[in-house]
């Protein structure tokens, strides 16, 4: 079987970044506070309480619908989804069922075989349930506690058609969707649990399996990859893939059977009697969208001359795109090409290695580093060393030094062709690596790069590559 036989659809739950909950005035800023401190009679579902709809949440949801080219329905309606679970204090969830807010949208991604349009089935608004806190762990916990601070947080659920054909495409869809939501200003990716995913996956001709409890972007690809392998192994052994719901256990990287898959009629949906139907399609024209990732990517290519890959990387996250523009702002004609390369190819990797936030690095400081590189004060290798010192100082909250101070203190300034030390280093490298020299004279051009590397090691990366190669050729010609 090939990847083409894999069929993936996603249900993405996004917490809208409003100040208050969907049906009451309780604050949504609960993450640093104690459990059950952001609750009231409405979000706890106490008798006699009445929900009042948060207008800002609907505006945010419509912003998303417009950005994804969805059709906002003339009339949408809230329903009660009935089921029992400890985190659902009312024993039902207020959501939208047969009359969602919007439907029939599109999100373009860079698919496995080029550009792909993933169809959006529907976008509906609902309230978040509470959160279970397992004492022990989720598999063998001694007992669980319930925190209702999250109950009633505004959610949108974005449901796709089964248009993705690999776990990798699912991850790319989520990255593009996350970026779009950030650009729209309706979502804060830094908040725990702000984006959660249920994935539906099947092998063509077999039953569909739903995977729940995926809490990270990378986790989606890992969970789906495991599930593809599991289902294919079942089919190879002549067994049947059962229609079921499975949970992803992130610590072990596996999925585990939870229950047989519920059908829609199991939830006994019926219209919410305490909320009137919504008629908000007239709002669509008044919603002005900001510059979205695709538009910003095209602008970066035209305005700054970024390559397609660099532009895609830089605009894939709002903070990264803003950081790049602040870095090049002092010299928008001379800095963009070098800044794009260093941010996309080097800075991101160094930040990821340290699990460090971009917010800890000031754009002006990075601009100074780029200027040192552009003006030939330091080499690329020295630039990486300077960057690492900068990041480590900020990560440890130490006294932070400017790039220029670091270069001076560590003596990382580029040497010149007249520097006797460079000529000495070249002669030493040649004398110490006669085998590489012999290989070079026998026609192995790559051997010369080895000698260059040895010289760079002796000069701690401070040598100008062009000058080094010129002087190296001079020394080699003397012994020819």
> Do both 447 and 375 map to the same domain?
no
> Do both 190 and 72 map to the same domain?
yes
What does pLDDT average to over the chain?
89
> Do both 94 and 231 map to the same domain?
yes
Lowest mean pLDDT among 200-204, 215-219, 334-338, 349-353: 215-219
pLDDT at position 404, please? 93
* Domain assignment present for 415: no
pLDDT at position 468, please? 66
Question: Which candidate, 333, 407, 421, places its Cα nearest to that of 373?
Answer: 407
Three-state DSSP state, 134: strand
pLDDT at position 416, please? 61
* Domain assignment present for 14: yes
pLDDT > 50? residue 469: yes
* Domain assignment present for 453: yes
- The answer to whether the Cα torsion of 350, 355, 359, 360 is positive or negative is negative
End of a domain among 234, 258, 286? 286
pLDDT, mean of residues 442-463: 72
pLDDT > 70? residue 479: no
Which CA distances in Å does 222 have to 123, 228, 248, 322, 459? 26, 10, 9, 30, 43
Convert the pLDDT of each residue in 15-53 to its tens digit. Answer: 999 999 999 999 999 988 999 999 999 999 999 999 999
Residue that wins the pLDDT comparison between 391 and 411 = 391
Burial class (CB in 10 A: 0-12, 13-18, 19+), 72: buried
> Do both 123 and 225 map to the same domain?
yes
> Do both 316 and 220 map to the same domain?
no
> Do both 471 and 455 map to the same domain?
yes
Which CA distances in Å does 371 have to 48, 90, 234? 65, 60, 58
pLDDT at position 457, please? 72
Domains in the chain, number: 3
pLDDT, mean of residues 121-130: 96
Lowest mean pLDDT among 83-87, 231-235, 311-315: 83-87
pLDDT, mean of residues 327-353: 95
End of a domain among 286, 304, 335? 286
266/259 Cα distance (integer angstroms): 13
Count the Cβ atoms, other than its own, within 10 Å of residue 215: 13
> Do both 344 and 446 map to the same domain?
no
Burial class (CB in 10 A: 0-12, 13-18, 19+), 300: buried
Confidence tier at 263 by pLDDT (50, 70, 90): low
pLDDT > 70? residue 197: yes
Structural domain that includes position 441: 420-478
* Domain assignment present for 219: yes
Convert the pLDDT of each residue in 365-407 to its tens digit. Answer: 999 999 999 998 888 888 999 999 999 999 888 778 999 999 9
pLDDT at position 418, please? 54
**DSSP secondary-structure letter at 414?**
P
Three-state DSSP state, 412: coil
* Domain assignment present for 251: yes
Give the whole-number percent of the chain exceeding pLDDT 70.
91
CB distance 187 to 64 below 8 Å:
no
pLDDT > 70? residue 473: yes
> Do both 61 and 43 map to the same domain?
yes
pLDDT at position 261, please? 58
111/432 Cα distance (integer angstroms): 50
pLDDT > 80? residue 172: yes
Three-state DSSP state, 15: strand
Parallel/antiparallel/unpaired status of strands 244-249 and 209-214: parallel
pLDDT at position 386, please? 94
> Do both 172 and 136 map to the same domain?
yes
pLDDT > 60? residue 2: no
What residues contact residue 71 under an 8 Å CB cut-off, 6+ apart?
Answer: 102, 103, 104, 105
pLDDT > 90? residue 456: no
Q: What is the CATH number of the domain that holds 428?
A: 1.10.10.410
* Domain assignment present for 140: yes
pLDDT > 80? residue 440: no
154/15 Cα distance (integer angstroms): 6
CA dihedral 223, 89, 131, 257 (to 10 degrees): -30
Residue that wins the pLDDT comparison between 128 and 458 = 128
331/337 Cα distance (integer angstroms): 11
pLDDT > 90? residue 336: yes
End of a domain among 238, 258, 286? 286
pLDDT, mean of residues 217-235: 91
Residue that wins the pLDDT comparison between 404 and 453 = 404
Beta bridge partners of 116: 109
Quote the tokens at residue 320. 């990264």
pLDDT > 60? residue 283: yes
* Domain assignment present for 152: yes
* Domain assignment present for 309: yes
pLDDT > 50? residue 290: yes
The DSSP result for 349-391, as a single string, is HHHHHHT--GGGS-HHHHHHHHHHHHTTSS-HHHHHHHHHHHH
Query: What is the H or E stretch that residue 426 is in?
Result: helix 420-432
> Do both 261 and 326 map to the same domain?
no
Residue that wins the pLDDT comparison between 322 and 395 = 322
Query: What is the H or E stretch that residue 108 is in?
Result: strand 102-111
> Do both 390 and 426 map to the same domain?
no
> Do both 384 and 424 map to the same domain?
no
pLDDT at position 56, please? 97
Query: Exposure string (b/e) for 107-142, b if CB count within 10 Å is 16 or more?
Result: bebebeeeebebebbbbbbbbbbbbeeeeeeeeeee
Instruction: Output the pTM of the full model.
Output: 0.84
Count the Cβ atoms, other than its own, within 10 Å of residue 340: 23
């Amino acid at each position: 079987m090939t990847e083409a036989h894999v069929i993936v659809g996603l249900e993405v739950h996004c917490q809208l970044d409003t100040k208050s909950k969907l049906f009451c005035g309780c604050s949504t800023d609960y993450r640093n506070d104690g459990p059950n401190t952001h609750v009231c009679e409405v979000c706890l579902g106490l008798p006699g309480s009445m929900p009042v709809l948060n207008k800002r949440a609907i505006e945010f949801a419509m912003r998303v619908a417009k950005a994804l080219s969805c059709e906002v329905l003339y009339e949408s309606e809230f329903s009660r989804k009935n089921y029992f679970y400890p985190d659902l204090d009312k024993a039902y969830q207020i959501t939208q069922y047969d009359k969602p807010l919007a439907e029939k949208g599109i999100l373009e991604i860079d698919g496995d075989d080029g550009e792909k349009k993933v169809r959006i089935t529907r976008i509906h608004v609902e309230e978040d349930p509470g959160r279970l806190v397992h004492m022990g762990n989720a598999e063998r916990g001694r007992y669980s506690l319930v925190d209702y601070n999250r109950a009633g947080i505004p959610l949108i659920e974005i449901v796709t058609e089964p248009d993705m054909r690999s776990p990798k495409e699912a991850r790319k869809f989520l990255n593009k969707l996350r970026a779009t939501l950030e650009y729209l200003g309706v979502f804060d990716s830094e908040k725990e649990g702000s984006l959660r995913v249920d994935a539906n996956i099947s092998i063509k001709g077999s039953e569909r399996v739903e995977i729940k409890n995926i809490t990270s972007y990378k986790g989606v690809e890992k969970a789906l990859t495991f599930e593809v392998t599991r289902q294919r192994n079942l089919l190879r052994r002549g067994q049947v893939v059962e229609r079921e719901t499975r949970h992803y256990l992130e610590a072990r990287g596996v999925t585990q059977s939870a229950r047989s898959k519920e059908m829609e009629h199991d939830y006994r949906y019926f219209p919410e009697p305490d909320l009137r139907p919504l008629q908000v399609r007239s709002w669509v024209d008044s919603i002005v969208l900001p510059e979205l990732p695709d538009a910003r990517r095209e602008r970066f290519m035209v305005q700054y001359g970024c390559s397609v890959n660099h532009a895609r990387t830089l605009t894939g996250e709002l903070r990264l795109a803003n950081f790049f523009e602040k870095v090049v702002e002092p010299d928008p004609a001379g800095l963009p090409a070098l800044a794009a390369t260093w941010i996309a190819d080097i800075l991101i990797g160094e930040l990821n290695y340290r699990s460090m936030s971009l917010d800890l690095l000031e754009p002006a400081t990075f601009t100074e580093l780029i200027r040192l590189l552009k003006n030939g004060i330091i080499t690329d290798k020295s630039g990486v060393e300077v960057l690492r010192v900068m990041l480590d100082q900020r990560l440890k909250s130490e006294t932070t030094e400017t790039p220029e101070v670091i270069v001076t203190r560590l003596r990382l300034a580029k040497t010149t062709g007249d520097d006797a030390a460079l000529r000495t280093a070249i002669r030493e490298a040649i004398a110490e690596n006669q085998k590489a020299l012999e290989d070079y004279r026998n026609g192995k051009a790559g051997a010369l790069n080895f000698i260059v590397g040895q010289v760079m090691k002796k000069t701690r990366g401070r040598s100008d590559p062009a000058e080094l190669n010129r002087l190296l050729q001079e020394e080699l010609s003397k012994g020819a």
